[in-house]
Amino acid sequence: RVCRDGQSPDKLRKSTDELMAGGVTGGAAGTWSDRFEQGLHPFIEAFNASIGFDLTLLQEDLDGSIAHARMLASVGVITEAEAEQLVEGLETVRAEAASGSFQPGLADEDVHFAVERRLIALLGPVGKKLHTGRSRNDQVGTDLRLWLRRRLDGLDQDLQRLQGALLTQADRHRRTMIPGYTHLQRAQPLCLAHHLLAYVEMLERDRERLQDVRKRVNICPLGAAALAGTPVPIDRQRTAKELGFSAVYANSLDAVSDRDFCVEFSAAASLVMVHLSRLAEEVIAWASEEFGFVRLSDRCATGSSLMPQKKNPDVPELVRGKTGRVFGHLQGLLTMIKGLPLAYNKDFQEDKEALFDAFRTTRDCVEAMAILFEEGLDFRVERLNEAVEQDFSNATDVADYLVSRGVPFREAYQLVGAVVRRCLEQGCLLRDLDLSAWKELHPAFEADLHDALAPRAVVAARRSEGGTGFERVDEQLQRWLQRFNGTQPVG
């Protein structure tokens, strides 16, 4: 369990032990209404608590409470002076957290109670007015949405950084070639920039998806109270506006029991991870002796504790490996929500660790990949350009050559297949056959065949829209670079 804002997991563990020894706790007994005579069983108190991980929401909880306090004054439920005291008290908690002196423990149960308790300790009776017309149910929903909205904006920056790193590499390799594969078998040669731009496109769709998620994250549940709304004359529009939400939930039940935005985020994050993982897998293969397409720099590679010659691609391997966690959180969230009756159920407390970890994992992996492409690897240009010379990946082009001279494609395809077989038997490549041999195979072959078979010509010839032809790739790169230098938003 990670508890970020100053509270060490050890401390929490120690307090569990203390509580176990002490039997009935003062904390929980002090929280609930006088309906409760006994405190929680110490193990259950620890089991029930979310303070070990939801302290992450502290800033958002304070922001939400400040907006709520101001709203209560604006509708006359509390006085302006009381609202001022509440805001000041909440800012004091913020300062205490910054200095490390705000140290809630298990007995506080969660961040919402921890803040409220501290406020009451600071302000006395006025502190007890903050929770008027509000429940932890709408409060936690508000906090979580604020938290995710802010982080989505940061993640978009990180994705742009990775796109930028790929674009810089693509720009450097406008004329470098790389074998293109299908079924991991050599298929047709490609322009390396084209290969890298494919990932830039994927990441762009990821950014669009996250922007779309943001729209539905940015709706305010505050004021739904426990589930049914409140007789207190609150102004939901006011709090929503102050917190930067674009709208309020229309239905109070929906507002407090909806976690679909967590699912949507995890789904979008899962796709980010799918893309990163595929790129990572390529880098791992490229860095192998067998491919030898990239050289890893010391900044982003590790050695072996035993084998002195080794240089390992740990960074892309970790990215590939961490992908499973994000998929797992998506699955966990879907399963957690699926059978829940309306409205709030404590099951929802389980959303946090999933959401926090899905976010942190995704963001860290995006950043790691950005660093990898910024300074962690070099493409081995000579080896790449040589690699495309050593195979039959120009075979389609022989067929296309015949097609351009009136031979039906299927006939040309059969003929070239037979030539490839012959070459394999003789241990040579297509370019090693001389013109007389070609002419014997088909009279349409002319002296220009050899030039047409050169990989650079093969790549250049693929001028169809979206193809790998160098000029086409230049156009695409230009479009991306313009967009990036203007740093226009998605859409």
Nearer to ligand ARG, 111 or 167 (CB): 111
Pairing of strands 177-182, 185-191: antiparallel
- Choose the catalytic residue: 8, 288, 304, 404: 304
Q: How many residues does the chain have?
A: 491
**From candidates 136, 194, 236, 363, binder to ligand ARG by CB under 6 A:** 136
Nearer to ligand ARG, 19 or 140 (CB): 140
Place of tokens 């860290």: 364
Task: Write down the least CB distance from residue 27 to ligand ARG, Å.
Answer: 14
- Choose the catalytic residue: 33, 183, 436, 464: 183
Q: Indicate if 304 belongs to the active site.
A: yes
Q: Which residues of 176-209 are buried (b: 16+ CB within 10 A; e: fewer)?
A: bbbbbeeeeebbbbbbbbbbbbbbbebbbebbeb
Q: Indicate if 194 belongs to the active site.
A: no
**From candidates 7, 15, 85, 137, binder to ligand ARG by CB under 6 A:** 137
Nearer to ligand ARG, 199 or 356 (CB): 356
How many residues in the shown chain lie near ligand ARG by CB under 6 A? Answer: 10
475: left (phi over 0), alpha (psi -120 to 50) or beta: alpha
Task: Write down the least CB distance from residue 19 to ligand ARG, Å.
Answer: 18
Nearest to 283 by CA among 326, 304, 312, 310: 312
Nearer to ligand ARG, 338 or 346 (CB): 346
User: Taking CB under 6 A as the criterion, which residues in 101-120 touch ligand ARG?
Assistant: 110
Place of tokens 């409140």: 230
Interface with ligand ARG by CB under 6 A: which range of 76-84, 136-144, 172-180, 451-459?
136-144
User: What is the pattern of x (binds ligand ARG, CB under 6 A) and - over residues 140-179?
Assistant: x---------------------------------------
User: Taking CB under 6 A as the criterion, which residues in 331-360 touch ligand ARG?
Assistant: 344, 346, 348-349
User: Taking CB under 6 A as the criterion, which residues in 424-443 touch ligand ARG?
Assistant: none
Q: 46: exposed, middle or buried (C-beta count within 10 Å: 0-12, 13-18, 19+)?
A: buried
Is 258 among the residues that bind ligand ARG (CB under 6 A)?
Answer: no
Residue 240: alpha-carbon gap to chain centroid: 27
Contacts 24+ apart (CB under 8 A), 378-381: 378/294, 378/295, 378/297, 379/169, 379/172, 379/173, 379/176, 379/192, 379/293, 379/294, 380/292, 380/293, 380/294, 380/295, 381/173, 381/176
Nearest to 279 by CA among 313, 311, 247: 313
CA separation, residue 148 to residues 132, 210, 288, 340, 463 (Å)? 26, 11, 39, 23, 43
Nearer to ligand ARG, 140 or 477 (CB): 140
Task: Write down the least CB distance from residue 249 to ligand ARG, Å.
Answer: 16
Side chain identity, residue 362: T
Q: How far apart are CA 385 and CA 413, in angstroms?
A: 26
How many CB atoms neighbour CB 429 within 10 A?
16
User: Taking CB under 6 A as the criterion, which residues in 366-395 touch ligand ARG?
Assistant: none
Task: Write down the least CB distance from residue 312 to ligand ARG, Å.
Answer: 40
The residues carrying an active-site annotation are 183, 304
Which residues would be at the binding site for ligand ARG (CB under 6 A)?
A: 50, 54, 110, 136-137, 140, 344, 346, 348-349
